[in-house]
Amino acid sequence: MKDNEFRTMTPDEFAAEFSPAPAQTPDNYFIRNRETGKLELHFDKSTYDALDDAQKREIKSAFLWGRRSGCWISRAKEPNLWHAERVAKALGLIDAGTAGERLSFAEQQERKTERAQRRAERFDGYADSAAERGRRLQQPIENMRGDIAFFTQPNINSNAGRAFTRRRDRMFDAYEKGFKEFNKSAYYRDRAATARETADLRELRDKGFVSRRIAECESNLRKLRKNIAEYENDLVPKAQAGTLKHYDGTPFPAEAVQAQIDTWLDRMEAELDKLGYYQDALDALGGVTFSKENIKPGYVVKVQRWGDVRVLSTGPKNFTAAGTDSFALTHAYAEIVEVVSAQEETPKAHPFKAGETFTLRNGETHTIVKTTAKTVTLQDGKGNAYRATPKYRPIPAQRKFMWCLFVGHGAWAGETFYRD
């Protein structure tokens, strides 16, 4: 065709002639599924059969076979895919990048609920089937209840007698197997109940759980921001200048540094989405009504799971509390159900005085040489001085609060002394 001539083409003909050829996917590759957050291994059965036993064990340790997807799916999810990637690269598979689009955290929770509901229905079916098998196995013996002769008839050494004994033994064996089927039914009922609890998302009605997830997301975001800032301020300029090296002295490419930053930015996006989801859940529960401003040491508060506890100290996000028969634990303010007693405790002065001497089990003698309102300074037998802080804590064995002072250097070379 000459340059100045025109040719009429249909859209399909134009696409077939001028569209770029699609990228060819390799036969043996691994890919990151953004929709599931997991790593997938794709290769045919002949490739798997050619692997040695050690390689097959490596695959099974990090992956599960997905019958529906027809590939090996990693047990771990992002961001914990480093072991799965190591296995995939050790097998010589080609990195085919990513596939799919990341689901929002709300969509992930919705899928989790749907899977749990299907799992509960499946286990209910298993339980019903096992119970029915148990009833069928035990029915012959149940039908003979009241027939004393059937159960007490001795074995008679005749054809009919031996046949009767064998038939009765088979019925008893079936009866025993019936118990095993009923045990299976109870097991599947428990599994179905657990799946329903998962589908119900009961934890979203627990302020303490939601508050801890929010704190977890905020911690992850702080770490990611710190990592990104360090890479951008330190490693990116070095990589661009060619001065960034591996441990073996080979250049560290700037593209690899940027790829890691992009990975962290992607994780930040996911964490922010997750944070928003849990913040909405906390708002739906009424938010956090207690804080350091309205909870003081000495208050008695009711905490989820632990009941009434006494507040020992308060911080910006958490507080420490204990009952008279429990150890001191740290709780989130969101875990407080109500304030039982709002009597603030005035700070107590510890009872330890200068000049007191403590003898440890190993024979060492430590003496208090100085005290303040909050701390004491001790000196060991060699003249080494150190500082310790007395704690007013519950002693479960005594069922009361006492002053505790740890004397010694280090957890394995010291001892705790108590005062009323």
CA dihedral 165, 168, 173, 179 (to 10 degrees): -150
Amino acid identity for residue 62 in this structure? A
User: How many whole angstroms separate alpha carbon 254 and alpha carbon 286?
Assistant: 48
User: How many whole angstroms separate alpha carbon 33 and alpha carbon 70?
Assistant: 14
Report the candidate in 307, 294, 313 with the shortest Cα–Cα distance to residue 393: 313
What pLDDT does residue 128 have? 95
What pLDDT does residue 269 have? 93
- Determine if the pTM surpasses 0.75: no
Say if residues 40 and 28 touch (Cβ distance below 8 Å): no
Q: What is the pLDDT of residues 31-81, one digit of tens each?
A: 999 988 999 999 988 889 999 999 999 999 999 999 888 999 999 998 899
Report the candidate in 384, 390, 383, 386 with the shortest Cα–Cα distance to residue 406: 390
What does the domain layout of the chain look like in residue ranges? 29-102, 107-200, 207-284, 300-341, 357-419
Query: What is the average pLDDT across 321-329?
Result: 78
What pLDDT does residue 361 have? 87
Alpha carbon 415 to chain centroid, angstroms = 35
Measured over the CA atoms of residue 153, residue 155, residue 158 and residue 159, the dihedral's sign is positive
Residue 281: band (very low, low, confident or very high) from pLDDT cuts 50, 70, 90? very high
Q: What is the mean pLDDT of the chain?
A: 88
At 309, phi and psi to the nearest 5? Answer: -135, 160
Query: What is the average pLDDT across 380-398?
Result: 86
Residue 152: band (very low, low, confident or very high) from pLDDT cuts 50, 70, 90? confident
User: How many whole angstroms separate alpha carbon 57 and alpha carbon 55?
Assistant: 5
Q: Mark out the alpha helices in 25-81 (DSSP H runs).
A: 45-49, 53-62
What pLDDT does residue 220 have? 94
Give CB contacts under 8 A, 24+ apart, made by 171-176. 171/140, 171/141, 171/144, 172/141, 174/137, 174/138, 174/140, 174/141, 175/137, 175/138, 175/140, 175/141
What pLDDT does residue 304 have? 82
Q: Where are the beta strands (DSSP E) in 5-85?
A: 29-33, 38-42, 63-66, 71-74
User: How many whole angstroms separate alpha carbon 318 and alpha carbon 335?
Assistant: 10
Q: How far apart are the first and last CA of the chain?
A: 106
Query: What is the average pLDDT across 380-384?
Result: 89
Measured over the CA atoms of residue 361, residue 364, residue 369 and residue 374, the dihedral's sign is negative
Q: What is the pLDDT of residues 218-262, one digit of tens each?
A: 999 999 999 999 999 988 888 888 888 888 888 888 888 898 999
